[in-house]
Amino acid sequence: MTPLAGYLLVAALVFAIGLAGALTRRNAILVLIGIELMLNAANLNLVAFWRYGPHPELLTGMMFAVFSIAVAAAEAAVGLGLVIAIYRHARTTDLDEINRMKG
Amino acid sequence: MSVVFWILAVITVLGGLTAVTLKNTVHCALALTVAFAGLALLFLELDAQFAGFAQILVYIGAVAILVVFAILLTRGSETPSEGVFSRTWFAGLLIAAAVFAVLAWAVVNSSAALPHETAAPTVNVQQIGHALMGRYVLPLEIVALLLTAAMLGAVIVAMHEKGEQK
């Protein structure tokens, strides 16, 4: 197995774990944690392809990962803000109980 | 494949696994931090020092703290009586397993075509700075704008509305 394949497999495993967390947990914050894990797995793919691909001196993959980290930080801030707003309104973060579009 | 890689991979995967399975949400946040640290160390192992330290600063320094704040502000650490997994947990698990099977199948099948060990690229901070200020200056500005907008948006969304009862 080449090193790149090892990294890709680890990234696939982390992605699947994040997806499982996002799909199975009740708590909205845990769903966000799962989404963060999925984003991180994608970043690992980007950096691994940058390291083992042609022309690493162009920095393309690493820059992509760095920008992706910045966007993920923005997503986390807005997502957790939304969870807090929903909690204030519905008094719960249980996604099975938040089942109304109307407030 | 080096021993270091396997150790880091195990730390990362175990951290992620515990982060989505533990009952107490605060423990989940701590396990998530371990997974983030493992990923940062994997970045360092991949000779991407800048991305690794950015990962430590942004994820361990900011996102993990934000998650802990959100858990404490929403009393999310209380374990619900009907369990921590949703009613449709089995379907979710099945979908995740199917996604992993497809991804792993694709990686293993294309393993022969993937590039082999290459010389470590020599990247210093000066090159990264030149790239950020030259080739990637427009994305950098857009990210700066996005972060400002996201910060304002998060504050406005989470702010108390006027006249709302506490």
- Residue B92: its H or E element: helix B89-109
* B85 phi, psi to nearest 5 deg: -100, 145
How far, CA to CA in Å, does B153 sit from each of B68, B131, B162? 20, 30, 17
The confidence band for A92, taking pLDDT boundaries of 50, 70 and 90, is confident
- List the single residue in A2, A43, A70 with the smallest CB-CB distance to B111: A2
ipTM above 0.95 for this complex = no
pTM value? Answer: 0.91
CA atoms within 13 A on the CB side of A8: 22
Q: Facing residues of A27 across strands?
A: A94
CA gap A7, A15 in Å, rounded: 12
The confidence band for B164, taking pLDDT boundaries of 50, 70 and 90, is low
The answer, yes or no, to whether residue B68 has pLDDT greater than 80, is yes
Q: Share the mean pLDDT of chain B.
A: 88
Selected residue of B36, B86, B132, B142 to mutate for chain A interface (largest A Cβ count, 10 A):
B86
pLDDT of residue A41: 95
Q: What are B118-131's pLDDT values in tens digits?
A: 777 888 889 899 99
Q: What are A29-38's pLDDT values in tens digits?
A: 999 999 999 9
Q: Using a CB-CB distance cutoff of 8 angstroms, which residues of chain A are in contact with residue B13?
A: 10, 13-14, 17
Mean pLDDT of B132-148: 94
Flag if B132 and A63 touch (Cβ within 8 Å). yes
Q: Which residue of chain B comes nearest to A75, CA vs CA?
A: B150
